[in-house]
Amino acid sequence: MIDPRILREDPDRVRASQERRGASSDVVDRALSADSARRAAIADFEAKRAEQKQMGKKVAQAKGEEKQQLLAEVKDLAKAVKEAEAAQGVAEEEWKKALKAIPNLADDAPAGGEDDFVLIEKVGKPRDFEAEGFEPRDHVELGKLLGAIDLERGAKVSGSRFYFLTGVGAELEFALINLAMEQAREAGFTQVIAPALVRPEAMEGTGFLDQVDDGVYKIEDDDLYLVGTSEVPMAAYHSDEILDPDTLPRRYAAFSSCFRKEAGSAGKDTKGIIRVHQFEKVEMFVYTTLEESYAEHQRLLEWEKSFLDKLELAYQVIDVAAGDLGPSALRKFDCEAWIPTQGKYRELTSASNCTTFQARRLDIRARTENGTTPVATLNGTLTAITRAIVAVLETHQQADGSVRVPKALQKWLGREVLEPIQK
């Protein structure tokens, strides 16, 4: 959640953020109203409690008929105190609910929706297959030629948007994971294998609970959720903890399987493995101070770019518009790789600064000279396997259907070229 002081002291800043997101500012007014009601309820309860204490002293000193009359008043007052306490509890819950409805402040993100991103830079140049004298195959055809991707059996066993990675396809996944973890280790990240199932508290704390209907799978009988990213378990990793500031930043590189319904993406990318229900990912996650989070955000972006450079891909970096941000993010940078057969750039990585938004919900603080303060959290994709495979296969294909292996992956794959299988 946002800092309540900002809401109280500068509500126009919150309204401006909502406008940048293309969202209603009604949530701001509701939260302010709920805050006023909460404060009034607290004052009413405290006033009645004080009156009750004073009445108790009078009863102790009174005698006879006066005492009996006071005892009757005390009984009525006790009932009023209990009612005021209950009203305060309701007001507190309404306040928390109203505050949680406000997304993070998108002060620096471009205004607008999905198409209003700002291009930061383009890296590399897309291959000119026409000049090379052949038409590129898409990753589905290449996957068949290489014996790397089996969509038909994926659909037979599990349904649409599922797949098998076989042979060099499976090897390519492990190679990408190893390369990502190697880079993370060299950058000082602690490697983690994260759970793919989490409790509701973790989903709510990271701001994903509102996406259950469209994007998140729920295991009803066990009240658990399948994560769409290891950002969720890693954000909750230090929940309800007070961290030593000398240990910040804490950087983790977490591997997990990820699950997404893609219910809101009907008709999009139904062919191939760009948009699927299950995939593996290596996610960078950082705990740091609010002041340092902005520089750390840039560092996450640089680590993502470094990985894409190792894959020898052409890509662009964009500053995502406010209306396309999730509720937790203050700002997000995407790296989009050129996909030859689609003739456009597609998202491969994202890096988000969530400032103290998630930490406030999950109660993650750092001890300072002036007490404790919420930490900042950031997340960044190092590699989302299926999309990385698509980009590598299509970018480095050759006329005969073979695929050149980027140099950085060669030691993990043990070969320089992926050859079509013999029929």
**Which residues belong to the active site?**
260, 275, 347, 350, 387
Residue 333, both tokens: 């940078």
First CA to last CA distance, the chain: 57
Nearest to 106 by CA among 279, 353, 369, 420: 353
∠ CA 323-327-328, rounded to 5°: 125
Counting Cα atoms < 13 Å in the Cβ hemisphere of 153 gives 8
Is 358 in contact with 205 (CB distance < 8 Å)?
yes
Is 353 in contact with 53 (CB distance < 8 Å)?
no
Is 410 in contact with 393 (CB distance < 8 Å)?
no
Neighbouring CB atoms inside 10 A of 406's CB total: 19
Is 376 in contact with 356 (CB distance < 8 Å)?
yes
Q: Parallel, antiparallel, or unpaired for β 190-193 and 250-259?
A: parallel
Q: What is the DSSP string of 147-208?
A: T-EEHHHHHHHH-TT--EE-THHHHHHHHHHHHHHHHHHHTTPEEEE--SEE-HHHHHHHT-
Neighbouring CB atoms inside 10 A of 408's CB total: 16
Residues in Cβ contact with 10 at an 8 Å cutoff, skipping those fewer than 6 apart: none
